[in-house]
Amino acid sequence: MTAPVDHSDRFPGSSDPEMRATLARKGQPAHITSHGVQFPTDLPPMVHKTRRLLAEDGYEEKESAAALRIVKAGDRVVELGAGMGYMSSIVSKNCAPAEVHAFEANPALIPCIRRVHSENGITCATLHHALLGPEAGEADFYVRRNFVESSMLPDPAESVVSRHKVPVRPARATIAALAPDVLICDIEGAELMVLPLLDLSRLRAAIVELHPQYIGLPGVQVIFDAMNAGGLIYNPRRSNGKVVTFSRPQ
């Protein structure tokens, strides 16, 4: 594997100087490799637990296992909830998709994703700073201390550190134009609003992390009903707990 590169100067806001200095004093590596992708250890969302899980190939383990099995060479992939660029990167590096379209609402994560893609030479992935909704416009997005819990939900208010207006794209038309083969969705409860808006009939598969703590069991049923209406059925072999995979019968 080639030596890690550092493009932090090209993407302001993608690094935490204090974290970088602390890691350097401790002799910690500047990058951690997971599934063949090099992740800078000075990304602002890189807490100790995240660095450890990346080193063990255990970060987003259930979702990763499903995606690396489901996505095929030449696929068009749409990811809703790109986080720090993990899933879009490992899929791009390992599965040879034709296109990956990664949507992320949190403005603080946009430079991080761009840096991860750039430092790994990923050219098939396109980043979209946007939410999907019933129609075009903008919506409030609440950033929390734990970045993975950031969402469109204002509660619990005590964990919110900032609120941002984020562009909203019309969900049905946007996904129809991108025509994905595989949909990957981890959007902290917003799956209940977004997925029923989509025409899922052209997908080969969908991987969804459910958030029953936000949408309840009735919301889980809504997701299953939307997938079934699109001709996709629950795939138990590629599902694990709250990470559920839906496949089109062969």
Per-residue pLDDT of the chain (250 residues; tens, 9 = 90+): 577 899 999 999 999 999 999 999 999 999 999 999 999 999 999 999 999 999 999 999 999 999 999 999 999 999 999 999 999 999 999 999 999 999 999 999 999 999 999 999 999 999 999 999 999 999 888 887 777 777 777 777 777 888 889 999 999 999 999 999 999 999 989 999 999 999 999 999 999 999 999 999 999 999 999 999 999 999 999 999 999 999 999 7
Distance in angstroms (rounded) separating the CA atoms of residues 120 and 249: 35
What CATH number has the domain bearing residue 169? 3.40.50.150
* 125 alpha-carbon distance from chain centroid: 12
Cis amide prior to 29 (ω within 30 degrees): no
Does residue 223 lie in a domain region? yes
203 in a domain, yes or no? Answer: yes
d(CA 50, CA 23): 14
Containing domain of residue 174, as a range?
A: 8-247
Asked if residue 196 belongs to a domain, the reply is: yes
**Amino acid 154: pLDDT:** 73
Whether residue 2 is contained in a domain is answered as no
CA neighbor of 235 nearest in space, from 211, 203, 197, 212: 203
Q: Which pLDDT value is given to residue 2?
A: 72
Residue 3 lies in a domain: no
Angstrom distance (rounded) from CA 132 to CA 170: 6
Between CA 171 and CA 194 the distance in angstroms is 7
Consecutive H or E run containing 161: strand 160-170
Expressed in percent and rounded to 5, the helix, strand and coil fractions of the chain are 40, 25, 35
Work out how many domains the chain is built from and give that number: 1
Tell me how far apart the alpha carbons of residues 249 and 142 are, in angstroms, rounded to a whole number: 38
Say what the pLDDT of residue 159 is: 78
**pLDDT score of 1:** 57
